A and B are shown apart, each in its own frame.
Chain A
């Protein structure tokens, strides 16, 4: 009996000594100013097995890499950040000859974002939905956005090579002023304008090869593009961009790539080209039967006036307007400039993007997302740990009990014969 008790006691003590000790999880608040020192302290502390960091802003790339290293070294690193806003910034080169960059900022709805570049403050945005944008003509890298105390920083990753534009259609005021608008915004324009059934007025080199090595986009102004339609459709599928204006999408080969079918032409809803909605004073072909994947760009009095979709590797932008020249000639003081900007933006949004890489992706553009990427999702802070009262050592009374059991068992053996 005593021998059995000794063996059981020994086994229990052995199990207890081998059982993992569950130490309290150290939890520590850290700010950018204190994180470096804390990281050094945690790294040097012997036996660090788990750590919870309470952050008031996202660590920089160095801090993130350090925390990730602790994690890879075996420590359980968790984090929580009650006040870091989900902020991100990206720089996108504007695909127009005038160049410039568009800074796209994502931030929580209702927040105020300060957008800066290396030269100073660019703009301040109040976020209504999930983000906003700022256009700049000459960005001094890096670009940065600040929400409360959280900064997001990035730099342009590529620049664009803007190629020529081919304008095809009938000779007329729409063709003349569309070409003028594009050229005045810096686009190099080739044109093939039909004057008679077998006569075309051409500008620029003959259209020998319609490909993205020469053309950034094609503008098809009307249904006279028929003979070129098949080549335009192939060009788009190979990565080119096309703007289908007016009735151009009625040509069968272009209907196959259009965002929708042009309906019957509707008259202008307004007579004032100088008002705040000048395009309401233009007649247009409403886009009916919009394809499921098409993106609606503009509605006018309940009808679709502009839409876009992808076709193969390229893009199709479809607009119903066929007399935009009236906007330039009859619009208000800003009419010509607005008409130019509208045409340039249309072509730029469809155009093939021939990009030259400038830099690799820079860290810090989306701090919260990068934090999640490095350390996993945020977890709740652990409850404050109780003082440590246990140790891996075996209590003395247990050893005494074991000694007593063994001594009693030895004594019983020695006294068994005497009895």
Chain B
């Protein structure tokens, strides 16, 4: 049985590699809290590559405007149709920002429109329980970006399954630190990342 590999999407426009510390931190949390066999290092997979289909959960982030190529768009459509899940986090935390506007438009064109994900969704109880929905980030609480605390995540749904999970909360900044520094936190703020991985592996 193959181990879980956390994969980061590489797309041709923008800065896909703006949060290099997020994958190892999430891998650490999955290994720390669950019995899931997880590869110790993540993978980087071009969004236009057929290798994308080896990683049914893919993480994408960035600050800059996003313009998918035709190949990236077609691949992403097939990927989600076959059951893959794309987790996109806006590294700007700004609903008026360039990344949000362009990324959400590209997702709509490739997969479908984003809709609000209810805070009662199974994602919020897949492993840890988040009865109030997505946990707030320090960037939201500090008033950076759009100066909003986003109460919901968004998603493109295929039936009752999340095909694209979209966050304006800037988890890429929140989880972008070395895993050893978790010992300084009273509550591990990457626990929600474990829920995303477990949800992707089970639903």
A336 in contact with B82 (CB, 8 Å): yes
A-B contact count (CB 8 A): 77
CA distance A175 to B126 in the complex (A): 15
Taking CB atoms, residues of chain A closer than 8 Å to B130 are: none
Chain B residue nearest to A173 (CB atoms) is: B56
Chain B residue nearest to A335 (CB atoms) is: B82
A201 in contact with B54 (CB, 8 Å): no
19 interchain pairs, CB-CB under 8 A: A170-B1, A171-B34, A171-B198, A172-B4, A173-B2, A173-B4, A174-B1, A176-B56, A176-B201, A176-B202, A199-B34, A201-B126, A203-B202, A246-B1, A326-B54, A328-B82, A328-B83, A329-B56, A329-B82
**Segment 172-203 of B: residues with Cβ below 8 Å from A:** 198, 200-203
Main secondary structure of the interface of A (DSSP, over half): mixed
Residue with the greatest number of chain B CB neighbours at <10 A, chosen from A171, A172, A191: A171
B1 in contact with A195 (CB, 8 Å): no
Chain B residue nearest to A322 (CB atoms) is: B1
Binary flags per residue of A205-223, CB closer than 8 Å to B gives 1, else 0: 0000000000000000010
Query: Known: A172-B4, A175-B201. Contact between A329 and B54, CB under 8 A?
Result: yes
Residue from A175, A329, A335 in contact with B202 in the complex, judged by beta carbons closer than 8 Å: A175
Interface assignment of B62: CB less than 8 Å from any CB of chain A: no
**Segment 378-407 of A: residues with Cβ below 8 Å from B:** none
Taking CB atoms, residues of chain B closer than 8 Å to A297 are: none
Chain A contacts to B: CB under 8 angstroms: 170-177, 180, 191, 193-197, 199, 201, 203, 222, 246-247, 322-323, 325-326, 328-330, 335-336
B201 in contact with A171 (CB, 8 Å): yes
Chain B residue nearest to A195 (CB atoms) is: B34
A222 in contact with B202 (CB, 8 Å): no
Taking CB atoms, residues of chain B closer than 8 Å to A170 are: 1, 35-36
Binary flags per residue of B81-103, CB closer than 8 Å to A gives 1, else 0: 11110000000000000000000
CA distance A174 to B54 in the complex (A): 12
Nearest-Cβ distance from residue B58 to partner chain A, whole angstroms: 12
Interface assignment of B142: CB less than 8 Å from any CB of chain A: no
Main secondary structure of the interface of B (DSSP, over half): loop
Interface assignment of B144: CB less than 8 Å from any CB of chain A: no
A195 in contact with B127 (CB, 8 Å): yes
A195 in contact with B53 (CB, 8 Å): no
Nearest-Cβ distance from residue B192 to partner chain A, whole angstroms: 15
Chain B residue nearest to A193 (CB atoms) is: B202
A201 in contact with B53 (CB, 8 Å): no
4 new A-B contacts at CB < 8 Å, known A172-B1, A173-B56, A330-B54: A171-B201, A175-B202, A195-B198, A222-B1
Query: Known: A195-B36, A336-B82. Contact between A201 and B1, CB under 8 A?
Result: no
A197 in contact with B35 (CB, 8 Å): yes
Nearest-Cβ distance from residue A263 to partner chain B, whole angstroms: 16
Nearest-Cβ distance from residue B24 to partner chain A, whole angstroms: 20
B82 in contact with A323 (CB, 8 Å): no
A177 in contact with B83 (CB, 8 Å): yes
CA distance A201 to B195 in the complex (A): 11
**Segment 1-31 of B: residues with Cβ below 8 Å from A:** 1-2, 4
B202 in contact with A171 (CB, 8 Å): yes
Residue from B1, B34, B81, B83 in contact with A196 in the complex, judged by beta carbons closer than 8 Å: B34
CA distance A202 to B88 in the complex (A): 26
CA distance A221 to B33 in the complex (A): 22
**Segment 21-77 of B: residues with Cβ below 8 Å from A:** 33-37, 50, 53-54, 56
Taking CB atoms, residues of chain A closer than 8 Å to B37 are: 172
A201 in contact with B198 (CB, 8 Å): yes
Rank and list the top 5 A-B pairs by shortest CB-CB distance, nearest first: A329-B53, A196-B35, A171-B201, A201-B202, A196-B34
CA distance A55 to B68 in the complex (A): 75
Taking CB atoms, residues of chain A closer than 8 Å to B203 are: 176, 203
B200 in contact with A176 (CB, 8 Å): yes
Nearest-Cβ distance from residue A261 to partner chain B, whole angstroms: 18
Nearest-Cβ distance from residue A266 to partner chain B, whole angstroms: 14
Residue from B53, B127, B198, B202 in contact with A191 in the complex, judged by beta carbons closer than 8 Å: B202
CA distance A149 to B169 in the complex (A): 75
Nearest-Cβ distance from residue A397 to partner chain B, whole angstroms: 103
CA distance A196 to B203 in the complex (A): 16
Nearest-Cβ distance from residue B201 to partner chain A, whole angstroms: 5
Chain B residue nearest to A180 (CB atoms) is: B83
Nearest-Cβ distance from residue B202 to partner chain A, whole angstroms: 5
Nearest-Cβ distance from residue A91 to partner chain B, whole angstroms: 33
Taking CB atoms, residues of chain A closer than 8 Å to B54 are: 326, 329-330
CA distance A326 to B34 in the complex (A): 23
Nearest-Cβ distance from residue A282 to partner chain B, whole angstroms: 11
Chain A residue nearest to B4 (CB atoms) is: A172
CA distance A247 to B53 in the complex (A): 24
Taking CB atoms, residues of chain A closer than 8 Å to B50 are: 330
Nearest-Cβ distance from residue A265 to partner chain B, whole angstroms: 9
CA distance A180 to B163 in the complex (A): 13
Taking CB atoms, residues of chain A closer than 8 Å to B200 are: 176
Taking CB atoms, residues of chain B closer than 8 Å to A335 are: 82
Taking CB atoms, residues of chain B closer than 8 Å to A329 are: 53-54, 56, 82-84
Chain B residue nearest to A221 (CB atoms) is: B1
Chain A residue nearest to B126 (CB atoms) is: A201
Chain B residue nearest to A201 (CB atoms) is: B202
Nearest-Cβ distance from residue B176 to partner chain A, whole angstroms: 25
Chain B residue nearest to A177 (CB atoms) is: B83
Nearest-Cβ distance from residue B171 to partner chain A, whole angstroms: 21
Nearest-Cβ distance from residue B16 to partner chain A, whole angstroms: 21
Taking CB atoms, residues of chain B closer than 8 Å to A196 are: 33-35
Taking CB atoms, residues of chain A closer than 8 Å to B81 are: 336
